[in-house]
Structure 1
Amino acid sequence: MKTEQFYTEYKPLMFSLAYRMLGSVTDAEDIVQDAFLTLYKSGSDHIQNMKAYLCKIVTNGCLGLLRSTSKQRENYIGTWLPEPLVITASEETDPMQSYLQKESVSTAYLLLLQQLSYLERAVFLLREVMQYDYQEIADIVGKSSANCRQIFHRAKRSLYVKDDPDHLDRFDQEQTANLVEQFMQALASGDATRIVKLLSADAVLVADGGGKVRAQLQPLHGPMPISHLTSNFLKKLPGNVTYRLTMVNGLPGIVVYLDGKTLTVLSFSILDGHIANLYFVINPDKLTHVV
């Protein structure tokens, strides 16, 4: 099998792993491209397990990037959110996008993963998502199988203490899409009263401007403060504001454009028929891939 065939078969899986590890679409794409470039240069005749081989390159590439950029994350201005994974109209029939929509890539889930150490995240994903046994994981990350078992259980306990990852991915597609569409209409009209009705009593808004644009630096709690902020969000903007309801990180979300350029991407988590969390990615560096 040629490298092009391996690329077609394994790229969705490798991107899914890298994106979960990094929370960055652009960095994940770079890591995956580098992995297949390495494969192209080395050839495939000596490789017995192609999936494991690519997973090892991608995992180590992600770990190396995370360690080299850890200082940047520590000094990040405001709240960090993952780069949004947005589906365009032309990508709706793309096999990779179809694969990712079935995976656990919601913003809330990615934020939970980011709370794990780099190694915990790698071991957890290789076990939980890739379904590798502990010896295979040990070969990939360079630890003993017993150590990998301990790391996995520690990571899983940590996630379940913070929340139930499975719960984050259980949602009613039609209900969620309806709530998000109502929110989009209320946002467009600046209807604060309507926004309040859509939010849960303990709703939280998180915005990521990265210090590049003006944004709420700390999470905002409660329906009234959130409705006030969001209903006034677009009123002060010069130019033509338009909206697109689409899939963001596997769930219904919104892309907002100002004069045809991407201004922000909104994703949500829904609980008991109300919007529980709102995630605004406004940092322009995280929106370069969104059209």
Structure 2
Amino acid sequence: MENRQTEQAYSLYKPLLFSLAYRMLGSVMDAEDVVQEAFFTLYKSGSDHIHNMKAYMCKIVTNRCLELLRSTSKQREVYVGTWLPEPLVTTASDETDPMQSYLQKESVTTAYLLLLQQLSYVERAVFLLREAMQYDYDEIADIVGKSSANCRQIFHRAKRSLSVKGVSDTSDRSDLEKATNLVEQFMHALTTGDAARLMKFLSIDAVLLADGGGKVKALTQPLHGHLSISESISSVLKKWPGSFTCRIAMVNGLPGIVVYKDTIMWSVFSFMIRDGRITNLYFVVNPDKLTHVQ
């Protein structure tokens, strides 16, 4: 009986719990581990004492994420260069997967995840539980171990501190098709290494953020301007002519690009797009953040 209840809870709540953990941590692998640990805890403890399974599992996952963030805070402080979240890469064949169907409806874009990083760990938890999961303050208070009034204050403080205006998840299908077309054109320019062609798809004040994590050579500071970005990308590609191939994928819920060097998966691009131009490019080349990408 307990095994069946655990399996039912796993099937029902795994997508929601992964979404919560991923947005808390910015790591696909850590989020998967946290969710697995949560269900193992449920399996060991049984469910007879649980009155609200969803709230109970969210509490386990939230607290485990907070523990993990606190234990790894020093690693983040000494991280080499720009930190970007692990890219969440899916393909069209994943659309029938309940997990992917759920995530497509959630705010998991790279830009959104970076905004969440501006919050403290507890602020992030309270904000997500309220804004994304629509919990009331009494439920949030029970999950994070603070008073309802305190959680209300934390939420409003977190919301004020986030500059979310103008960040689009491109959830509208027509916008998504336009974004896919733009990224496809950018990808074709990418394979040629033609700086002038690349520049056509970038906004004048575009920004490139690269994450090598000190493991491989990458920009350690943001690169600004469509000219600088296109020339920088072009110069990298021209060092290894003919070595690169690319494919379009859904990266954090929006069209992105997976890049292969000599048939080996090398990097992932995700984008922020406004008014038909790429305004932000997020370039993850840290191999530790790409082990789950095919």
Among 204, 207, 224, the alignment partner of 2:207 is 204
| Structure 1 residue corresponding to 2:34, chosen from 20, 31, 53 | 31
2:269 is the counterpart of 1:287: no
Q: How far 1:252 sits from its partner (Å)? A: 0.2
Residue in 2 that maps onto 1:226 = 229
RMSD between superposed Cα atoms in Å = 1.3
- Say which of 33, 45, 64 aligns to 1:61: 64
Q: Could you report, residue by residue, the CA deviation over 1:95-146 in whole angstroms, capped at 9, with x for unpaired residues?
A: 1011101110000000000110000000000001111000100000000000
The aligned residue for residue 215 of structure 1 is: 218
1:163 corresponds to 2:171 = no
Q: Give the equivalent residue in structure 1 for 2:101.
A: 98
Which runs of no fewer than 5 residues in structure 2 stay unpaired? none
State the 1:175 CA deviation: 1.2
Shifted more, 57-66 versus 226-235: the winner is 226-235
Gaps of 5+ in 1: none
The residue that corresponds to 2:140 in the other structure is 137
**Percent identity at matched positions?**
75
- The structural deviation recorded for 1:238 is 7.2
Measured in 1, the distance between the counterparts of 2:258 and 2:76 equals: 25
* Kept in 2: contact 1:14–1:58 (CA 8 A): yes
Which aligned pairs between 1:1-291 and structure 2 lie closer than 5 A?
A: 2-88=5-91, 90-159=93-162, 162-164=163-165, 167-170=167-170, 172-237=175-240, 240-291=243-294
Return the letter of the residue paired with 1:41.
Answer: K
Report how far residue 168 of structure 1 moved: 2.3
* Separation (CA, whole Å) in 1 of partners of 2:208 and 2:130: 32
How many residue pairs get aligned? The number is 288
Q: Is the 8 A contact 1:242 1:256 kept in 2?
A: yes
Q: How far apart in 1 are the matches of 2:105 and 2:81?
A: 31
Q: Compute the displacement of 1:4 (Å).
A: 1.1
Q: What's the CA shift for 1:156? A: 0.4
Check the 8 A contact 1:239/1:258 in 2, yes or no: no
- List per-residue Cα deviations over 1:22-60 (Å, max 9, x = no partner): 000000000000000000001111111000000000000
Residues 21-30 or 194-203, more deviating: 194-203
How many angstroms does 1:234 deviate by? 2.0
- What CA distance in whole angstroms lies between the structure 1 residues aligned with 2:16 and 2:210? 29
SS in 1 for 2:75: helix
TM-score (norm 2): 0.95
